[in-house]
Amino acid sequence: REKLDAIASPLSTDEEPNSYDDVTSYNNYYEFGTGKSDPAKHAHELTTRPWAIKVGGLVNNPGEIGIEDLLSAYTLEDRIYRLRCVEAWSMVIPWVGIPLADIIDKFDVQGSAKYLAFETLVRPEEMRGQRSTFPILPWPYAEGLRLDEARHPLSILAVGLHGEVMPNQNGAPVRLVVPWKYGFKSIKSIVSMRFTEEEPTSTWNVQNPREYGFYSNVNPNVDHPRWSQATERRIGGGLFAKRIETQMFNGYGEQVASLYDGMDLTKFY
């Protein structure tokens, strides 16, 4: 496993990270199956080189970012973040990544751009979940952020975890990490970034708009229609781990709450 050189970040939590095993054997990545252990079993079938993210839409400077560029032309940072899944479990993950804002700036975004839309790779030959007769989700997996969310210092493109190159089951070679939103917003194996004026579609929102909104900020006061979001189970604590209370914006409220000033978060969930 290839090591990455990264510097510490003041934005990291001092909570104890989950073990490498926990982080890499318990994944939601439906391109490789719906079971939590499916990605660890099948994601090795994906080849992640060569790899580039196509960047387009409302930019003056469209183009591509190759994975080698990401790994060499930027200062990598360790970012230890809480991750809260919409399914009411959580982990603490030591990501290695690059502030998304630094990448956005290279492309000279036009003034009319308000959103950033992302897409995951579609490659059924290597992603067995995309080969099924009844697709579990419409592919490609798509996600989006408001541009101010994307530029927020907490938003990163992650290329590794636990000081090593990103394992395939966690979204290799490059994925988004937005720690104050439910995990599914942090799209994996990104191949496209487009700047848009209109709010982009997001896969789970299309799949079930009543249950998954565009924003999907972690919010203990707005329940999922089918289960409570007030508490969560921290993975790794074993059978008798106590449930913990979910924090507003996953505990990042001090940094991000102002992004949503004046918005009714029960409506924009």
Partner 1 sequence: MAQSRYWTLMPEWLVYPIALLPAAHLLWGAVSNTLGPDPLKVLENGLGEWALRVLIAGLAITPIMRFLRINLIKYRRAIGLVAFIYVILHLSVYLVLDKQLDWAAIGADIVKRPYITIGMAAFVMLVPLAATSNKWSVRKLGSAAWRRLHRLVYVIAVFGAIHYLLLVKAWPPEPIIYLLIIVALLAVRLVRPQRRLRTAS
Which residues here bind partner 1, judged by CB under 8 A?
18, 21-22, 25-26, 30, 34, 36-37, 86-87, 89, 134, 136-137, 204, 207-208, 223, 226-228, 230-231, 233, 235-236, 238-243
Give the single-character DSSP code of 224. B
- In angstroms, give the least distance from the CB of 57 to partner 1: 28
Q: Which two tokens stand for residue 161?
A: 């975890």
| Residue closer to partner 1, measured from CB, 212 or 215 | 212
| Residue closer to partner 1, measured from CB, 53 or 86 | 86
Contact 243, 228 (CB under 8 A): no
- In angstroms, give the least distance from the CB of 175 to partner 1: 19
CA distances from 192 to 62, 80, 144 (A): 11, 25, 11
Please count the other Cβ atoms lying within 10 Å of the Cβ belonging to residue 236: 17
Distance between CA atoms of residues 186 and 175, nearest Å: 7
Give the distance from CA 268 to its chain's centroid. 19
| Residue closer to partner 1, measured from CB, 90 or 155 | 90
| Residue closer to partner 1, measured from CB, 49 or 240 | 240
- In angstroms, give the least distance from the CB of 184 to partner 1: 9
- In angstroms, give the least distance from the CB of 122 to partner 1: 17
Q: Is 206 helix (H, G, I), strand (E, B) or coil?
A: helix
